[in-house]
Amino acid sequence: MHPPSHHNPLRQRARSATPQELVAIPWMTVLTPAQRESVVAQLQVADAEVGERICRIGRPANFWFGVIDGLLKMSNDESSGQAVTFTGVPPGGWFGEGTLLKRESYRYNIQALRRSVVAGLPIEVFHDLLGNSIAFNRFMLNQLNERLGQFIAAREIDRISDPELRVARNLAALFHPQLYPGVGNLLRITQQELGYLVGLSRQRVNQALNELATRKLISIEYGGLRVLKLQGLRCFPHPPLN
């Protein structure tokens, strides 16, 4: 996957969000009308090409980013240590709030795995919402709590060598209803893209997906995967207790 070389920087291609794109932003519903009006005026949206970087290690964090459509990956593939993919970010996911809270530089790269629509909220607007909206603070607290649980689970997944188990747990994370509400039951992802996220070849991912489909945990559909039993993915290979 090679970064595109023909486009202007993402920020130079930014535009205002359409009404349909605003509907896809989960935290917008907790704002007052006045707060929403202020946010809409300053929110920026841009179309990211395959391989394009949204965030880069060492760059100052100036925006809180979210995925309207598409799929991103969070990794440290330019750091001095071993390359690690931390997570994928599907539709409805917003990320980087911890870095913005501390006003730090990014410690990870965010890159588009497929053509994606990305939204950015300027850091000062983000901090203004934190300072003036109890509802937004509650949303953010829940977001941080859910992400903490996700990253603890990700550390456990890193130690798993069984491909079916790795794919099942990673899929369960991508279908997280609180962190990624835009996904619903159908995730638009190819087997090659999933391979990038879980660290397996496309062929091995294909075998694992077929096993999960045989167990009726997912169905493999054109252009994506549909989850049939989310709790079953989380508990794989053991059936969930009812």
Q: What is the pLDDT of residue 158?
A: 67
Q: What is the pLDDT of residue 6?
A: 45
Q: Dump pLDDT digits (tens) for 117-146.
A: 999 999 999 999 999 999 999 999 999 998
Q: What is the pLDDT of residue 125?
A: 96
Q: What is the pLDDT of residue 3?
A: 47
Domain ranges in the chain are 10-154, 161-235
**CATH class in words for 161-235:** mainly alpha
> Which CATH code is given to the segment(s) 10-154?
2.60.120.10
Task: Write out residues in the chain with pLDDT < 70, as ranges.
Answer: 1-8, 77-84, 157-158, 240-242
Three state DSSP letters for the chain? CCCCCCCCCHHHHCECCCHHHHHCCHHHHHCCHHHHHHHHHHCEEEEECCCCEEECCCCECCEEEEEEECCEEEECCCCCCCCCEEEEECCCCEECHHHHHCCCECCCEEEECCCEEEEEEEHHHHHHHHHHCHHHHHHHHHHHHHHHHHHHHHHHHHCCCCHHHHHHHHHHHHCCCCCCCCCCCEECCCHHHHHHHHCCCHHHHHHHHHHHHHCCCEEEECCEEEECCHHHHHHCCCCCCC
